[in-house]
Amino acid sequence: MAEMTVNDTNKDLPNDSPHRARTSSLFGWIKVMKKNRKAQVGFIIFVGFILVGILAPVIARYSPTATNFPPLEPPNAQHWFGTTGLGQDVYAQFVWGTRSSLIVGFGASAISTLFAVVIGMYPAYWGGYLDRVMATFTNVFIVIPGLPLMIVAAAYVHDSSTLTMMVIIGLTGWAGRARVLRAQILTLRNREFVWAARLTGASDRRILVHEILPNMLSLFMASLMYGILGAILAEAGLEFLGLGNLTGVSWGSMLYWANNGGALLNGAWWWLLPGGLGIAMFGTSLALMNFALDEVTNPRLRQMSTLSRDRIVRAWHALRGESFQ
């Protein structure tokens, strides 16, 4: 009699999860992402950092640059994250550092994304002379080592304002991303479904928007996420080398001062840790959201994570009303 009741198993399967929504639009994705555990965790951490950055003036408790506290105090009730060798409050530095690191990260990645799209994606679809010029340009930029270029640029402009940092990092970080996006466009533009759309008379614009972009959205978002993370790492790197704005406070400058102030020699782990953890956790949140996005946009990955063989067997036996070990 199994045949009659097969429908009942559906309650054991993720009936209302991913697959249902049409996932070609950003909006559809957001709906689907809400149900993904990895996305949830990643998003909560991400939003936590954003809130810390926005609310820095409210929640910092002390000025991050004030040096009027006892130096090298371990975490306590007054100084939640302890104090630095110069008598600054580490918690205040972390909170303000979050703010400036995120600003540089988002700003620089916006600049590099713009370049990656304009130089990598658009010419690739139309091909021809412009594409060849742009591809060559990109390739030249890729082989220039990024960090030395950034160091030279930062040392040359002699201006370590936040905006300058953004521009330097943005302008040196777009080439790899441009190449990835270009490669994806090149494989997509000759796929059968694109040819089929062309044969039915669809315009280039329509093909780009309706056929190609939906297939690229996940790669694009991944590129964006890694762009942000890369920019934050680049900023931390420059700061750590002493090439940033050392009077300002960021995760990188915290590491710089902790290193130069002998935090490890003094056993002041609380001074060294927050800057590094900030970078690592923010990176993790981006990576988690990115994995989730992969699952949501790739039906195969999605099925693997939601419909494991064990679940299928269990659902089947539940349907048959048998106890199953």
Partner 1 sequence: MSDDTAILTVDHATVVYGSEAGLAQAVNDVSLAVAPGHILGVVGESGCGKSTLAQAIMRLLSPNAALVEGRIAVRGRDMYRMSENELRMFRWKHVSMVFQSALVTLNPVIPVGKQFQEIFQIHEPTMSQVQVRKRIEELLSLVRIHPQNLSNYAHELSGGMRQRIAIAMAIALDPVLVVMDEPTTALDAVVQREILDEIRRIQEIKRFAVVFISHDLRLVSYISTEIAVMYAGKIVEVGSAHHFMAAAHHHPYTQGLLDSVPKLSGEGFTIRAIPGSPPDLVHPVRGCAFHPRCSAAYDACLAASPILRSVGSSKFACFDIERRENEKAHG
Q: Which residues bind partner 1 (CB under 8 A)?
A: 3-4, 6-7, 9-10, 13, 15, 19-20, 303-304, 307-309, 311-313, 315-317, 319
Report, in Å, the least distance between residue 313 CB and partner 1. 5
CA distance 36 to 31: 10
Contact 315/12 with Cβ under 8 angstroms? yes
Nearer Cβ to partner 1 (18/261)? 18
Contact 66/83 with Cβ under 8 angstroms? no
Contact 268/115 with Cβ under 8 angstroms? no
Report, in Å, the least distance between residue 122 CB and partner 1. 31
Nearer Cβ to partner 1 (148/299)? 299
Nearer Cβ to partner 1 (142/319)? 319
Report, in Å, the least distance between residue 182 CB and partner 1. 23
Nearer Cβ to partner 1 (37/320)? 320
CA distance 123 to 51: 38
Report, in Å, the least distance between residue 314 CB and partner 1. 10
Angle at 35 between CA 42 and CA 38, to 5 degrees: 30
Which residue, chain included where needed, has tokens 């409050």?
89
Q: Give the pair of three-digit tokens for residue 99.
A: 């703010």
Query: CA of 162: how far to CAs of 25, 101, 102, 153, 169, in Å?
Result: 34, 9, 11, 14, 11
CA distance 246 to 254: 9
Nearer Cβ to partner 1 (19/198)? 19
Report, in Å, the least distance between residue 106 CB and partner 1. 36
Contact 93/254 with Cβ under 8 angstroms? yes
Contact 252/258 with Cβ under 8 angstroms? no
Helix, strand or coil for residue 159?
A: coil
- Close Cβ partners of 55 (under 8 Å, ≥ 6 residues apart): none
Report, in Å, the least distance between residue 293 CB and partner 1. 19
Report, in Å, the least distance between residue 320 CB and partner 1. 9
Helix, strand or coil for residue 87?
A: coil
Report, in Å, the least distance between residue 6 CB and partner 1. 6
CA end-to-end span of the chain? 22
Report, in Å, the least distance between residue 35 CB and partner 1. 14
Nearer Cβ to partner 1 (76/308)? 308
CA distance 22 to 60: 43
Nearer Cβ to partner 1 (12/73)? 12
Nearer Cβ to partner 1 (158/300)? 300
Q: Give the pair of three-digit tokens for residue 25.
A: 């639009």
